[in-house]
Amino acid sequence: MNATQVTALPSTPRGDATHTFARLVVWAALPLILFGGSVTSLDAGMAVEGWLTVESSQGERLLWLYPLEDWFRNIGQFVEHSHRMVGTVVGLLAIGAVVAAFATGASQAARRMTTIALVAVCVQGTIGGFRVLENSPQLAFLHGALGQAVFATLVAAAIVTSPRWSAAAPVAHESAGSLKSLATRATATVYLMIVSGAWLRHTNDPMALALHLMLLFVVLASVVLLFKRLSGFDGGLSHLATSGRRLGWIIKAQVVLGVLALMAVMVWYGPSATGVHDSILPTLHVLGGALLLGQCLASRMWVGRLLKQEAGS
């Protein structure tokens, strides 16, 4: 089959509302990661005590009725409560994606993936809640490391519910198998680096820094190679080239942010941020890690969806 014979996208696909909700979940998760990263950077995890019922200057209040004067009292309370409120929005949108998937007759894969995404969001929110209730540094680390995996799951749900995914037909390609392996390795190594970064941010352990820096070279090798190989596709498989270019942009930005974040922590401000000015670079680096992981996973999914191994190769 020629690459240009990839099936054209339908103009009004069934289940489009599902994809809209799934994309909104991903977009809403971006500020959630930013606020979550700020919570860690500013050590504000216990700035608002309680979970569904929280302490305020007016006594116990439901999370969603937290007084505005307390919400904006200081930077710690602002980022911690904002993190929780944006998390609520993400959860509601994830519910909307599942409802839309079952109500609009979306594919079985779309129904399954949106359900998995909703469960992942619920688990992540529960871990965050128990982290506060138990004031547990271990749960704080788990919440931070797992959050990036949850974001990747949301990206996967947005892909599976997309019209392009439903319409795609695989094309025989001699490099299908090696590209799948390379994309899998890139995704796995990026996540390992994210976990080491979470370990570093929650403990300031020199071993975590050493591991993080060592994994950097593995990630660079796998992601840059994947970017270069994907960038060579054109015609009906140009979506793979687009995915490769995105990888290139993100990995470059992430390396720059990583260097700046390291300088901020080691040279300019120190490991304990006191305000937005000294927390922004490490926090943006956390967001960059999530975007890189999501794009690596997206690349792996599209390689598996659009390419199949040639017979006899």
Each residue's pLDDT, cut to its tens digit, for the chain (313 residues) gives 344 444 444 433 555 899 999 999 999 999 999 999 989 888 888 888 888 888 888 878 888 888 888 888 888 899 999 999 999 999 999 999 999 999 988 899 999 999 999 999 999 999 999 998 888 889 999 999 999 999 999 999 999 999 889 888 888 888 888 999 999 999 999 999 999 999 988 888 899 999 999 999 999 999 999 999 998 887 678 888 889 999 999 999 999 999 998 888 777 776 666 666 778 888 899 999 999 999 999 999 999 998 887 655 5
Q: Are residues 39 and 183 in the same domain?
A: no
Which residue bears the tokens 């929780």?
A: 84
DSSP 4: G
Q: Are residues 159 and 192 in the same domain?
A: no
DSSP 3: G
How large is the greatest C-alpha to C-alpha distance in the chain, in angstroms?
72
Q: Are residues 189 and 237 in the same domain?
A: yes
pLDDT of residue 180: 93
Is 1 part of a structural domain of the chain?
Answer: no
Residue ending a domain, among 130, 152, 167, is 167
Q: Are residues 118 and 244 in the same domain?
A: no
Do the Cβ atoms of 56 and 70 come closer than 8 Å? Answer: yes
* Number of structural domains found in the chain: 2
DSSP 170: -
pLDDT of residue 36: 92
Is 311 part of a structural domain of the chain?
Answer: yes
Is 178 part of a structural domain of the chain?
Answer: yes
Residue ending a domain, among 167, 184, 217, is 167
pLDDT of residue 41: 84
Is 8 part of a structural domain of the chain?
Answer: no
Q: Are residues 107 and 233 in the same domain?
A: no
Q: Which amino acid is at 277?
A: H
pLDDT of residue 122: 96
Domain containing residue 297? 170-313
Tokens at 193, concatenated: 């680096």
β-strands 53-56, 59-62 pairing: antiparallel
DSSP E strands: which ranges in 102-196? 171-173
Q: What is the pTM (predicted TM-score) of this model?
A: 0.90
Can you tell me the distance from the alpha carbon of 59 to that of 66, in angstroms, rounded to the nearest whole number? 10
Q: Are residues 154 and 261 in the same domain?
A: no
Q: Are residues 39 and 58 in the same domain?
A: yes
Is 5 part of a structural domain of the chain?
Answer: no
pLDDT of residue 220: 94
